[in-house]
Amino acid sequence: MNEYPIALPGARADTLMWAEPGEIEPAALDQLRNISKLPWVEKLRVMPDVHLGKGATVGSVIAMRDAVAPAAVGVDIGCGMAAVQTDLTMDDLPDSLAPLRAGIEQAVPVGFNAHNGVTDVLRKQWPLKREADRLFGSFDALRAPKIAEREGRMHAQCGSLGGGNHFIEVCADDDGSIWLMLHSGSRNIGNELARRHIETARTLEHNLGLPDRDLAVFLAGTDEMSAYLHDLYWAQDYARLNRAAMMALVKAVVVEHFPQVTFRSEVQCHHNYVAEETYDGVDVIVTRKGAIRAGSGDLGLIPGSMGTGSFVVRGLGNEQGLCSASHGAGRRMSRTKAKKTFTVDDLAAQTVGVECRKDRGVLDEIPGAYKDLQQVIDAQTTGPSPLVEVVARLTTLMCVKG
């Protein structure tokens, strides 16, 4: 049994890890130490899927007092997961899921593709239309410079997947029940908002002496912080709407193939986001970059990689862990290294039984490029200070990648 959490040697602020220091690349450990030395950091928590990131480490939960670091959220503001359980079982599925995958890929733009304007699902489904009207109507109030030029793309990309590690999956739990799951964020508009505010933060005088300029912060009470949080909260809502729109499109395709299907309530969770929370009586701004909230009873989703399945979890409200948990398995090698290490034949071998792309275009997403998901789950479900409990283990049957 593990003895997590572990203190990070050389850290200044209160820093605890649900990961073995010897299993983390040295550059990521140095990055964590740099974060811990920022004068505004109250607490730093490190999840078991931790790995090197831009500015802040992926798998980090940073609680700051009177400050926020935009790079501690990252450029895909509000990136996260959505899932829904169906009443379908393995017995209802055909021998091949290729037609279903083709239907989903036709309904949901992937990669650099987008809708031709606002997708109909945002016009016709009332809860989605209401939220789209609110967000699109408040676009003009965004405060990042020159953001108005992205309005058309913002409309067209809502309900689209993107590329990289974003995915849409059909999965089965251990009882044979079929789930739909997807992973995406705020698309180009979130990226543009983040980059503009990060550039602003880097110019501020109080950030000039930082060990890493990517850790530049905004300070409470300033116009710059107010502008950033305003835009960030908008982008987080956009990311949630994007996932909801995609799920509606995926459900429609599933209904075409299985007219009798019904769906349970949807699970949604951000894993790149900001929240204002209180720990030990101190009000802090918490940034989770590659981490989900795991408050008591919170349902969360922790995916692996294409072919290795995912977990539905329930938070235990562990305040020592800042009510957080990992966002996935976490990469164990860079995309560049993965492409140099593995072949298309390796990809085919590692995704046997999964209906998915098996070409060089997704080679950097091969399961071998990721950490062992079961070990990541074990690190946060066992020992003296667990973060979550497992609700369901999901096996991947079909995966759509951009």
Residue 197 marked ligand-binding: no
Exposed/middle/buried for residue 219 (C-beta within 10 Å: 0-12, 13-18, 19+): middle
Half-sphere exposure of 39 (CA within 13 A, CB side): 6
Residue 303 marked ligand-binding: yes
| pLDDT value of residue 129 | 98
What is the Cα–Cα distance from 309 to 350, expressed in whole angstroms? 12
Per-residue pLDDT of 105-121, as tens digits, reads 999 999 999 999 999 99
Span 303-307, mean pLDDT? 92
- Taking 90 as the threshold, does the pLDDT of residue 2 lie above it? no
| pLDDT value of residue 402 | 83
| pLDDT value of residue 57 | 96
Structure tokens at 13: 């602020």
What is the Cα–Cα distance from 358 to 346, expressed in whole angstroms? 9
| pLDDT value of residue 289 | 97
* Residue 131 vs residues 97, 141, 142, 244: alpha-carbon distances, Å: 33, 16, 16, 10
Span 358-365, mean pLDDT? 96
Residue 327 marked ligand-binding: yes
Residue 184 marked ligand-binding: no
What is the Cα–Cα distance from 219 to 360, expressed in whole angstroms? 44
Per-residue pLDDT of 289-301, as tens digits, reads 999 999 999 999 9
Residue 113 marked ligand-binding: no
Structure tokens at 168: 């849409």
- Taking 80 as the threshold, does the pLDDT of residue 339 lie above it? yes
What is the Cα–Cα distance from 228 to 218, expressed in whole angstroms? 8
Q: Mind giving me the DSSP string for 95-156?
A: S--HHHHHHHHHHS--TT---SSS-THHHHSHHHHHHHHHHHHTGGG--STTGGGGHHHHHH
- Taking 80 as the threshold, does the pLDDT of residue 397 lie above it? yes
| pLDDT value of residue 213 | 84
Span 340-364, mean pLDDT? 97
| pLDDT value of residue 211 | 81
| pLDDT value of residue 214 | 87
| pLDDT value of residue 128 | 98
Per-residue pLDDT of 222-257, as tens digits, reads 999 999 999 999 999 999 999 999 999 999 999 999
Q: CATH says 6-332+370-401 is which class?
A: alpha beta
pTM: predicted TM-score of the whole model, two decimal places: 0.97
If one compares 307 and 400, the residue with the highest pLDDT of the two is 400
Residues taking part in catalysis: 327
Calculate the dihedral angle through the C-alpha atoms of 42, 80, 164, 85, rounding to the nearest 10 degrees. Answer: 150
Cis peptide before 21 (omega within 30 of 0): no
Calculate the dihedral angle through the C-alpha atoms of 365, 369, 373, 378, rounding to the nearest 10 degrees. Answer: -150
- Sequence-separated (6 or more) residues with CB below 8 Å from residue 222: none
Percent of the chain surpassing pLDDT 70 = 100
| pLDDT value of residue 3 | 87
Domain boundaries, the chain: 6-332+370-401
- Taking 90 as the threshold, does the pLDDT of residue 307 lie above it? no
Mean pLDDT of the chain, nearest integer: 96
